Structure 1
């Protein structure tokens, strides 16, 4: 009988063979592709089933799709607290492997769910495991680099990851056209998890040497959280990213209603809309990398918030004039995506700049705040849903104003470079 302990030993032994020293070595050339593939589990898990919202509503209840989305966000938030601590204690590879395994099994549970409640529970479990796919890659970037160099590396990873929002909604639409049930979408998600496990085992190096791992007690860990949350650079940059996540999740929760209900768009056309927005994001992340090298990370964040605020104002005006059609709404969301692409990776670098020795813990705290807030935003869109773009646009505008305030409060210091 093959035991979990034997599996863990394989990952530990392979981590020793693949270990690199981030202080003296550049990251492997394939690292950005691999980490981008792993981080993409998030958009794959969300974007791929958005076209199925009407079918899920028909099978369970009208509120079920938004509740499953909120459940995913809250599970993601809870998982990241645990994954951050585990990755700082046991290295990066083993917690990531455990998370991907849980994600895979829970996705299969979603495919077999017999009620809206069970679907929500399995979505939360899948998100708890998938949280490792965000925490660990972000911490690995901090293991290798800081400052503008880390921003450039994160931008490369997000370029790879941004392929997922292009493919996932189209793939979800194709599944709905060819498969007997929306449940097959979650089987595809499970297969993605299996692929991630294989690539992790075969190619991902360990970036956190044993001598740099935390061995603190639980009370000491809570004190570490308290120390992190008191650092001004962490708080302000995390708030910028948190407001950005809220706006993104408001868009994800509200877009199906705006396009498929208000404007009566077929499911496959909605999938194409999401794919086009995702394809544009690839170019936006590429531009972000260029701008970071020219302007520096803090200025690019400010630029992104300004563009996002402009987009939110446009979407709010369009919500007041619903007869303006679907094209202006699409352009408003495209402008939002342009500004948002300058936020997540750069805000992360600013937040982690002073926390290299416990990057996993700091990343977990940052991501937990972001996904808890995102879950609230998604639930609010569902609660306030009235068949128009008003709930989505209102929350995106409030978040833009909050991000502008947080960006203005950032410490006026230059981030470390390593």
Structure 2
């Protein structure tokens, strides 16, 4: 594969993956405007975030078998069309219930892009390159939480929140066009895969029974739910508790994502010296220590705006290191069932993320402490699951030093 083709594929796959984060982050500064225009509360508007996470989680399971059965392109294009129409619907929606429902449909559409991009990493690149490719994708994806809320803050303040959804619709059209033109069709549809519920469930269960899958999928997902907690809580924490305006909130959110991107790129360098397993272990130890210190500071009222930003910055840096490695080790055993495996991994991650964001909506009112408590619990739980799960992995499939998958004991 030429360097030019390599970069082109990374950029297209990155654009596919970025659609979800843009759809989540870009409208956050508009929460109070949406509440005002649709005659509701900010808490009710935040339900549209939970409905989006539920939609992505359910959609992951839907697209996994479809991508394996019909190839990567057809389900991807249909999903993007659903996304484009739902984004347009959000512009003209008359009430909050319709808005929450359309966000769910928008998520069902956008996650076709997410699942397809993860599955195509496994199709297009050798196994040893997977963590590196995921780290590069995170660089492209990482720009979205930097740009999205900042752009969203300016667009919302100057033109209103409706324009945000028109911009998302145009993004969907752009991603559809570049996918049609630039993505290779090298995956042959597997017609042996049935789309009846029983074989699909059996297929997912066979993936779930693989000890390497469930250990790293649940470790990664539970650790990563700390990020969902932060995203869901951030409009309340920064705009209600610390009283910053929509534009400043966008810049704070952008600054936070520098941590996540920077550490995921540092991960690429560290992988030359350490194994993925060592990186996950080190990141989770660090994340546990940081979250415990963070909780101590929150409970003793030692946190102002700047202290909260610093602690969140450090917390997110740990996730930037653990996430590409847990994803790589979760998918490593699956050469045939990649679509289903990546869908199930995503569904677990987003399902737990939806739960975390729902918990934030219930508990976070006028203090940082509930958010930090949820982050601490999830981090320590992930660390425990990693150490218990590793005992059940008999033949570990590692991301080896050459193209071959290495089976270790």
Quote the residue 1:415 is aligned against: 398
1:189 partnered with 2:189:
no
CA distance in 2, matches of 1:26, 1:235: 36
CA drift at 1:27: 6.8
SS of the aligned residue for 1:295 comes to: coil
CA drift at 1:187: 1.1
CA distance in 1, matches of 2:177, 2:79: 13
SS of the aligned residue for 1:368 comes to: helix
CA drift at 1:304: 1.8
CA distance in 2, matches of 1:69, 1:230: 31
CA distance in 2, matches of 1:29, 1:387: 45
CA distance in 1, matches of 2:70, 2:386: 34
- Residue among 355, 358, 378 paired with 1:376: 355
CA drift at 1:217: 5.2
1:157 partnered with 2:137:
yes
Quote the residue 1:139 is aligned against: 119
SS of the aligned residue for 1:343 comes to: helix
- Cα–Cα, structure 1 residues 83 and 53, in superposed 2: closer, same or farther, change >3 Å? same
- Segments of 5+ residues of structure 1 without an aligned counterpart are 1-21
1:64 partnered with 2:47:
no
C-alpha contact (below 8 Å) 1:304/1:343 kept by paired residues? yes
CA distance in 2, matches of 1:50, 1:286: 26
CA distance in 1, matches of 2:397, 2:210: 15
C-alpha contact (below 8 Å) 1:214/1:358 kept by paired residues? no
CA distance in 1, matches of 2:201, 2:225: 26
- Residue among 77, 81, 89 paired with 2:61: 81
CA drift at 1:28: 3.5
Range 228-237 or range 315-324, more displaced? 315-324
- Cα–Cα, structure 1 residues 65 and 216, in superposed 2: closer, same or farther, change >3 Å? same
CA drift at 1:209: 2.3
CA distance in 2, matches of 1:324, 1:348: 33
CA drift at 1:117: 0.8
Structure 2 counterparts to residues 216-365 of structure 1, below 5 A: 216=194, 218=196, 219-322=198-301, 324-365=303-344
TM (normalized to structure 1)? 0.89
CA drift at 1:39: 0.2
CA distance in 2, matches of 1:174, 1:305: 36
SS of the aligned residue for 1:107 comes to: helix
Range 82-91 or range 148-157, more displaced? 148-157
SS of the aligned residue for 1:294 comes to: coil
Quote the residue 1:44 is aligned against: 22
CA distance in 2, matches of 1:117, 1:249: 22
CA distance in 2, matches of 1:57, 1:314: 35
Quote the residue 2:102 is aligned against: 122
- Cα–Cα, structure 1 residues 393 and 174, in superposed 2: closer, same or farther, change >3 Å? same
CA drift at 1:314: 2.9
TM (normalized to structure 2)? 0.91
Aligned residues: 393
CA drift at 1:214: 4.6
CA distance in 2, matches of 1:345, 1:95: 25
Range 147-156 or range 72-81, more displaced? 147-156
SS of the aligned residue for 2:243 comes to: coil
CA distance in 2, matches of 1:52, 1:339: 29
- Cα–Cα, structure 1 residues 26 and 150, in superposed 2: closer, same or farther, change >3 Å? farther
- Segments of 5+ residues of structure 2 without an aligned counterpart are 405-409
Q: State the superposition RMSD in angstroms.
A: 2.0
C-alpha contact (below 8 Å) 1:250/1:396 kept by paired residues? yes
CA distance in 1, matches of 2:303, 2:115: 41
